[in-house]
Structure 1
């Protein structure tokens, strides 16, 4: 559906705010819209599939959060060729390492895929957009159902066997309020064990816990 978008919407969906004098011409507003459409489309897809007795609101929330996480959005963006679209859309004045960095950044790719969803919603309406979203995110949705990620619990259990506990500290916050990225440090006995980043504190903590588990297994 990206190929069917009008040129102005398609261009806006891959325009970083630093590439334009008017912030409203960037992907940010479209991403704000697309975030809600993505969440609703995945929720509506999951709700009738999962039995009420086994999947309460809390469990549904965790499954959806994994399916639409920054990491999931990045994977979808990469499958759809978004990094290359970003490279092609970049002004000549910023082409090169700076653009390459943006094209590899999870926060940027997640925002762009949300912007694309927002643009598709504006052009084609909810029903057609929801079908396209579910199709694009099917691998991520299925993975969240088969292998729910709870790295924090796994790390806590592993450390408990050693008689230690893990705490999480926010090391940095970047970006505007609607596009915030958090960096979290997993601390054990006052020492940093691993770092992780995400678009929410919970996502960042999960990423830090995952990295910590990998370091303990190395």
Structure 2
């Protein structure tokens, strides 16, 4: 019996790439549990793709945010290459139906498993790198991660760090935090903390610990000054 070659037309359309060596894509979609997958699962391509993704994202961030300090670039990089982000990209590519899985893995929901999806995302990037070179792989990363790069799913900085960086950027002294009030019993205290930045009005925050109250106060000041917006930072 002649084995039919898989039809990857829709997937290739989403990737906006045509493989010179289709077997690389086939390998990138093959889980180690798949029958006769020994030596041909996506694991090696995933290892390679992880490094290509990191370099491509780092280069893109460096060019896209020319005034961002190293710390912000590092946080953006970590957000973009984390498992959840890569799985989101794999879902956008709709790789699920194309995955080659063992029966047990398929029955246990492997086509929706975030770890598998994230690994396959990186494996496909690795396959494109081997097939077409770095520039082609970087273009795929830029296209696919564009929305996540422009609108991160999580705040890149905690409120205190963001407020301190903002103050430093304006040549101001660091914010100062003062406990304005402490209530409740020792085992369940509540804190009201005041934050002050030179040239701005005092802001307050509440929390079950000093740290939480300080973060709440910093967040309130960031929102009030328009440094953060409710749309992007509506929740802690």
Gap runs ≥5 in structure 2: 1-11, 162-192, 194-204, 213-234
Confirm or deny that 1:40 pairs with 2:86.
Answer: no
**Alignment RMSD:** 3.2
For residue 33 of structure 2, give the secondary structure of its aligned residue in structure 1. helix
Gap runs ≥5 in structure 1: 167-213
Q: What is the aligned partner in structure 2 of residue 27 from structure 1?
A: 42
Q: What is the aligned partner in structure 1 of residue 107 from structure 2?
A: 97
Q: Give the deviation of 1:23 after TM superposition.
A: 4.3
Number of matched pairs: 159
Going from structure 1 to structure 2, the CA distance change for 1:46 and 1:27 (only over 3 Å counts) comes to same
Q: What is the aligned partner in structure 1 of residue 93 from structure 2?
A: 80
Q: Give the deviation of 1:72 after TM superposition.
A: 1.1
Going from structure 1 to structure 2, the CA distance change for 1:148 and 1:118 (only over 3 Å counts) comes to same
Q: Contact 2:101–2:110 (CA<8 Å) still a contact in 1?
A: no
Q: What is the aligned partner in structure 2 of residue 148 from structure 1?
A: 155
Distance 1:139 1:20 in 2: 36
Distance 2:82 2:150 in 1: 14
> Could you report, residue by residue, the CA deviation over 1:74-110 in whole angstroms, capped at 9, with x for unpaired residues?
1111110111211xx335x447523xx1111111100
Q: Give the deviation of 1:124 after TM superposition.
A: 0.3
Q: What is the aligned partner in structure 2 of residue 10 from structure 1?
A: 25
Q: Which has more helix, going by share of residues? A: 1
Greater Rg over alpha carbons, structure: 2
Q: Contact 1:20–1:26 (CA<8 Å) still a contact in 2?
A: no
Going from structure 1 to structure 2, the CA distance change for 1:8 and 1:51 (only over 3 Å counts) comes to closer
Distance 2:46 2:159 in 1: 28
TM-score by length of 2: 0.58
> Could you report, residue by residue, the CA deviation over 1:130-159 in whole angstroms, capped at 9, with x for unpaired residues?
011100110111113x963457979xx9x9
TM-score by length of 1: 0.62
